[in-house]
Amino acid sequence: MPEKSRVICVGEVMVELARGADGRYGLSFGGDTFNTAVYLARAGIPSAYATALGDDPYSGALLSLASAESVNADLIVRVPGRMPGLYLIETDEKGERKFFYWRETSPARELFELPEWPAIAEALLSARLVYFSGVTLSLYSNTGLGRFLAALELARRQGVMVAFDGNFRPRGWKGDLARTRTVFTEALKRVDIALPTFEDEAMLWGDANPEATVARLQAFGIGEIAVKNGSESALIADKSGREYVPVPQVVEPVDTTAAGDSFNAAYLAARLNGEAPVAAAQAAHALAAEKIRHRGAIMPRAAAAMH
């Protein structure tokens, strides 16, 4: 077994079209777990991304972006004749965004049903940490989910850490709450670090407050939880207790896209570097605050370098 040194993020990355101030659309790329992989790599944590793309020029450009951001692409499967998903972002005057997706035929949905899937599953066993989200789970058929969750279980037995952001998007589940809860329940049995957003948890589970979210996740035996609670704070819970970590200053957002993804990356990077959870949450707030000052999922590197 190679030394467990890298984080593997699993999910879907898409072509992103975002309207600029001049009304024109700019082309970039994004996807919740891919955004996190990029921000992890920028933080100096060796990262790889596991997904499936097509053999089209946009998939090629995505691979070039991964390479430029030092995200390892050895677990990105290319499927001939296919193309990645696409989404449009419309942002209102408050910086809140609305997404419109064309992703039903994305090859990322079949990652654990492609001929290469056993190699992907095996790679997870040698990760330092595997990171995925509720969006990741929404992609796969029951067959794909069974294989992915079985691989996670084996990986944990080999000492791999598993981190999960619930990131519940009703449209991805076609409004089927019962199936969503069933799938999440199976996933949560295999998680070490949960990084949910309270608003999502309230929508899916009816949680009354972040404490209720923590209690529900602790019932699954999850040892470390960081509940993101918008511009207010994050509630951190681990074996030493619970603590609210306030957002140091409220920033007027330009674009909230990937605020949670950047938070998760900074949190996990700090934890992997040996910081305590509260310090990790402070670092996470700082990166998320910087992210929301910029448009698009992945902010310019120069902006990040200033901090």
Instruction: List CB contacts of 77: < 8 A, sequence separation 6 or more.
Output: 51, 52, 53, 107, 111, 114, 116, 120
Query: Would you call 298 exposed, middle or buried from its count of C-beta atoms within 10 A (0-12, 13-18, 19+)?
Result: buried
Residues forming beta bridges with residue 233, ordered by sequence position:
229, 246
pTM of the model: 0.94
Domain at 7-302: CATH architecture: 3-Layer(aba) Sandwich (3.40)
- Is 261 a known active-site residue? yes
Catalytic, out of 165, 200, 255, 261: 261
Query: What does each C-alpha distance from 220 to 4, 121, 160, 190, 194 come to in angstroms?
Result: 25, 24, 18, 9, 11
Q: Find out whether 269 and 253 touch, Cβ atoms under 8 Å.
A: no
pLDDT band at 79 (very low <50, low <70, confident <90, very high): very high
Domain extents in the chain: 7-302
Question: Could you read off the pLDDT of 185-213 as tens digits, one per residue?
Answer: 999 999 999 999 999 999 999 999 999 99
Q: Find out whether 161 and 131 touch, Cβ atoms under 8 Å.
A: no
Question: Could you read off the pLDDT of 22-61 as tens digits, one per residue?
Answer: 889 989 999 999 999 999 999 999 999 999 999 999 999 9
